[in-house]
Chain A
Amino acid sequence: ELKVEQNPLFLSMQEGKNYTIYCNYSTTSDRLYWYRQDPGKSLESLFVLLSNGAVKQEGRLMASLDTKARLSTLHITAAVHDLSATYFCAVDPYDKIIFGKGTRLHILP
């Protein structure tokens, strides 16, 4: 059974600090996705990681993928309040796209 585990599930942090969200998955996957969801809204794509060692950055967010360790990280640099949201990773084995439970990020001013 495929498992996608995110940790932490909830994170409260101060503005200006750095932190990392981890996504572990239990089976081989060609792709890994990161999404953001604001309360009451749909999901917005952040990154698609397609190969081992892939690194993508957008603003204060950087995602990386280690397919051998079956691990992806989403690193937040110098957090700002606008990054408060829920972040999901998802993997894509055998045409299914399976999501983790999400990390609810709360950034305090």
Chain B
Amino acid sequence: DAGITQSPRYKITETGRQVTLMCHQTWSHSYMFWYRQDLGHGLRLIYYSAAADITDKGEVPDGYVVSRSKTENFPLTLESATRSQTSVYFCATEQGDSPLHFGNGTRLTVT
């Protein structure tokens, strides 16, 4: 099916572990975004990408790494997870004047 897929839906990891959240789209949209959602903060932009091999920092990039070797994939890696990174993570795509299309989110718990 066409769309945007995030995996896993739920993840529990320990402090200090590396974890990667996956985001895959089937539309070939140019722009992709990663947000985290925390109560009281709304959605905060972590990283975004305008095209393959082009990425840039958002509002809260510290502790995260992204890559975009192919247009359709935009993984987000927490190199050494901390409890403060417990959150719901949303991936989104955008093309032209269309609105953002969001994935279903990944709920990450760091213990």
22 pairs, A vs B, C-beta closer than 8 Å:
A31-B97, A35-B99, A35-B100, A42-B103, A42-B104, A43-B90, A43-B100, A43-B102, A45-B99, A48-B97, A90-B100, A96-B48, A96-B58, A97-B45, A97-B48, A99-B35, A99-B43, A99-B44, A99-B45, A100-B42, A101-B41, A102-B43
Most chain B CB within a 10 A radius of its CB, from A42, A88, A101, A102: A42
Q: Please classify the interface of chain B as helix (H, G, I), strand (E, B), loop, or mixed, using the class held by over half of its residues.
A: strand
Residues of A within 8 A of B (CB-CB), count: 18
Q: Output the nearest chain B residue to A42 by Cβ-Cβ distance.
A: B102
Provide the residues of chain B in CB contact with A99, threshold 8 Å: 35, 42-45
Task: Judge if B33 is at the interface, Cβ distance under 8 Å.
Answer: yes
Contact with B along A22-50 (1 / 0, CB 8 A): 00000000010101000000110100101
Q: In this assembly, does B84 line the interface, its C-beta being within 8 Å of a C-beta of chain A?
A: no
Of listed A33, A97, A100, residue having the most chain B CB within 10 A: A97
